[in-house]
Amino acid sequence: MMTLKDVKTGDTAKVVKVCGEGAVKRRIMDMGITKGVEIFVRKVAPLGDPVEVTVRGYELSVRKADAEMIEVE
């Protein structure tokens, strides 16, 4: 399964599942990243962390470790 970390700049992906447990999973979901939502990858920082995405009409920066917990298609 592909994760948000694997999505290339300029591509859109649909969330299949949010992995993780407890507070980490809750924080990701509180940012609006839930099953079925589309995520557009705007930019990736020069060293690969963080990733800037557009979710539900607003920009958001996600750490690489958190992006690995988001399964997409």
Dump pLDDT digits (tens) for 50-71: 999 999 999 999 999 999 999 9
Confidence band of 1 (pLDDT split at 50, 70, 90): confident
CB 61 within 8 A of CB 31: no
The helix (H) or strand (E) run that includes residue 21 is: none
Burial of 42 by CB count in 10 Å (0-12 exposed, 13-18 middle, 19+ buried)?
middle
Go through the domains of the chain in sequence order and give each one's CATH number.
2-72 (2.30.30.90)
CB 18 within 8 A of CB 28: yes
Output the furthest CA–CA distance in the chain (Å, rounded).
Answer: 31
